[in-house]
Chains A and B, each alone.
Chain A
Amino acid sequence: MLIQGDTGDWEVVIGLEVHAQVVSNAKLFSGAATVFGAEPNTQVSHVDAAMPGMLPVINEYCVEQAVRTGLGLKAQINLFSVFDRKNYFYADLPSGYQISQYSQPIVGTGSIVLDMPDGSTRTVGITRLHLEMDAGKSLHDQHPSKTYVDLNRSGVALMEIVSEPDLRSPEEAAAYLRKLRAILRYLGTCDGNMEEGSMRCDVNVSVRRPGEGFGTRTETKNVNSIRYVQMAIEFEARRQVEVVEGGGQVVQETRLWDTTKFVTRSMRSKEEAHDYRYFPDPDLLPLELDPDWVEDIRRSLPELPDEKKARFIEQYRLSPYDAGVLVAEKASADYYETVARGRDPKMAANWVMGDLFGALNKLGRGIDDSPVSAGALGGLIDLIANDTISGRIAKEVFADMLETGKSADAIVEEKGLRQVTDTGAIEGAIDAVLAANPDKVAEYRAGKDKLFGFFVGQVMKQTQGKANPALVNEVLGRKLKG
């Protein structure tokens, strides 16, 4: 994206730091639970509250999840990594330090392929992924003169995934986040739920003249939806252009996204210069991974969006766009594959992406709680394929299925929608229509071809839409020829 300033064009440079909460039962360094939304301070162990003498012991599954994510990002897995303490004081950081990884993270450089709306792709570099513990939560609005602290989240495992400053527009940033979220969900390493804070984003933005070196960046913290990320980038880029064009300098600082005014603003509590005094946590030893163990995880990786997309294009002859839409969520890809199995893949794609997605959208439901299961939709498509119903009737049946949850078969049976393929019955209906409209027959035969459609309509009306359209066409054509 280029911003047109008063003095010329500016290019926006964006890097994202995503904090993705690891899917695990227990916390990174304690045995307390991680479930969202519990009563305050109930999912807190003495370790999470940093009681004197408490020590961290690492959760093996969290390590596995980080490795799995690294492999999913085609990244280098570091067999030797170190946990460091990041020292700073804050009310919701009980120990006064966050256990994180600084100079030796568990995962090194990787990449993510973005699917752009025009069907093109773009590769964005991943700088690193490291494991760290989450802080607790400060509530500032519960009491007039006090901040309340809930430590339920304290110690939950996070993966911080840092991108290279490769993104150039809010749209690319959004595509990056969607793709990253898809990969995490495919892997089952993070649920990607931004509303519950299990995926949070820090946005680094700077502006520069096209072709020049990087400008000074700001970091906007904890932006918690893709839409807000886009808005924050937009705002921040324009703000920086204004600052620079006004003769000022962008200050390297931490900013906050204001979700009521839709602006970024300087964070007062983090104003002072940071000096985190990182050093290796002496309560933990370096984390050493067994290469065989890493290979076992690699072998157990599920098919990821990019591979699945390629396979869909190849196996089902879908367009890159359709394949991209279907694999964006693992659940929709799985749904599609169940529908497509043994059926016409193109028809399956049309039904899933057209009728189903449209209906779900209207209902405000996700694919996981679709009222029509993949098997049921397949059943409907089967009825079209074997000429039991026409495509037009199928739309009605689908609407019924959404409402009642019944199978296509049951609805067709119940309502007697089975297509009439009996030539005799169709001939009878046609004869009746022709007999009732002698003038139209004469007009048709005199050359008014357009009337063919009228006759088809009348026959369908006569048969309540159940006549097989192909058969109707054939017999009608023959009879009209006389």
Chain B
Amino acid sequence: MSLDKATVAKIAHLARIKVPEDEQEHLAGELSRILDFVEQLAEVETEGVQPMSSVVAQKLRRRPDVVTDGNIRDKVLANAPDGAEGFFAVPKVVE
């Protein structure tokens, strides 16, 4: 499997990582080598095999419907790069 520059640009955008154009070619090569490496999995017979959903042999635990958290606005906002009036702030979004 070989990735081209355009695909790198596409997945970089999906992942919201800015990859300068002059690095895309090189990255395409590196990622292609990794994909070639993982491609060996095709050799494994997996007909009828259940995909691993968890290595832990237990059922999903559930918690009771009780309010135990929240009311910690100062803590929630403490590390925010930008915020005002109790909100987080980001560059304006046009819908």
Interface positions of A (Cβ within 8 A of B): 24-26, 30-33, 39-49, 51, 57-63, 82, 89, 91, 138-140, 142-151, 256, 267-269, 272, 275, 277, 280, 282, 284-288
* Contact with B88, one of A33, A149, A280 (Cβ below 8 angstroms): A149
B64 touches A46 (CB 8 A): no
Q: Would you list the 4 A-B pairs with minimal beta carbon distance, nearest first?
A: A32-B70, A31-B68, A61-B65, A60-B62
Output the least CB separation between A82 and chain B (Å): 7
- Check B70 against A147 for contact (C-beta < 8 Å): no
Contacting pair B95 A286 (CB below 8 A)? no
Q: Which of B58, B69, B75, B84 contacts A143 (CB 8 A)?
A: B84
15 CB < 8 A contacts A-B: A31-B67, A31-B69, A41-B73, A57-B61, A57-B63, A58-B61, A60-B65, A140-B94, A267-B95, A268-B94, A269-B93, A285-B53, A285-B58, A285-B60, A287-B60
> CB within 8 Å of A: which of B66-95?
66-73, 75-77, 82, 84-95
Chain B contacts with A in 38-52, Cβ cutoff 8 A = none
Give the complex CA separation of A336 and B90 in angstroms. Answer: 52
CB-based contact A286/B60 at 8 Å:
yes
How far apart sit A345 and B59, CA to CA, in the bound complex (Å)? 52
Inter-chain contact A139/B87, CB cutoff 8 Å: yes
Q: Given A45-B72, A58-B60, A282-B54, 6 more contacts at CB 8 Å?
A: A32-B69, A42-B86, A62-B65, A142-B85, A150-B87, A288-B59
| Beta-carbon contact of A41 and B16 below 8 Å | no
A147 and B90 contacting across the interface, CB-CB below 8 Å:
yes
Most buried by A among B62, B75, B94: B62
- Distance between Cα atoms of A275 and B7 in the complex (Å): 13
Hey, which chain B residues are within 8 Å of A150, CB to CB? 86-87
How many angstroms from the CA of A284 to the CA of B60 in the assembled complex?
7
A291 to chain B, nearest CB (A): 14
Q: Tell me the minimal C-beta distance from A267 to chain B in angstroms.
A: 6
| C-alpha spacing A230/B62, complex, angstroms | 39
| Neighbouring A residues of B62 by C-beta, 8 Å | 57-60, 63
Max chain A C-beta neighbours (<10 A), residue from B70, B71, B89:
B70
Q: Please, which residues of chain B bring their CB within 8 A of the CB of A24?
A: 65
> Interface centre among B62, B84, B88, B89, by most A CB within 10 Å?
B88
In the complex, the answer to whether A42 meets B73 with C-beta atoms within 8 Å is: yes
Residues on the A chain within 8 Å of B82, using CB: 146
Distance between Cα atoms of A287 and B69 in the complex (Å): 23
The answer to whether A146 and B64 touch (CB under 8 A), given A42-B71, A140-B95, is no
On chain B, the residues within 8 Å of A146 by CB distance are: 82, 84, 89-92
Closest to A144 in B: B92
Report Cα–Cα, A284/B76, bound state, in Å: 24
Nearest B residue (CB) for A150: B87
**Cα A282 to Cα B52 with chains together (Å):** 10
Question: Is the CB–CB distance between B84 and A44 below 8 Å?
Answer: no
Say yes or no: B87 contacts A40, CB within 8 Å.
yes
What residues on A are CB-neighbors of B68 within 8 Å? 26, 31
CB-based nearest B residue for A270: B95
Closest to B16 in A: A89
Contact with A along B15-44 (1 / 0, CB 8 A): 010000000000000000000000000000
A59–B68 Cα distance when bound, in Å, is 12
| With A39-B86, A142-B87, A148-B89 as contacts: A26 and B73 at CB distance below 8 Å | no
Closest to A44 in B: B76
| Alpha-carbon distance A48/B71, docked complex (angstroms) | 12
For A87, the closest partner residue in chain B by CB is B14
CB-contact partner of A31 in B66, B85, B88, B89, under 8 A: B66
Question: Which partner residue on chain B sits nearest A136 by CB separation?
Answer: B88
CA A154 to CA B75, docked complex, whole Å: 16
Give CA–CA (A285, B92) in the complex, Å.
Answer: 37
Shortest CB distance B44–A (Å)? 19
Say yes or no: B14 contacts A286, CB within 8 Å.
no
Contact of A60 among B63, B92, B93 (CB under 8 A): B63
Contact B67 A46 (CB under 8 A): no
Q: For residue A256, which residue of chain B has the nearest CB? A: B95
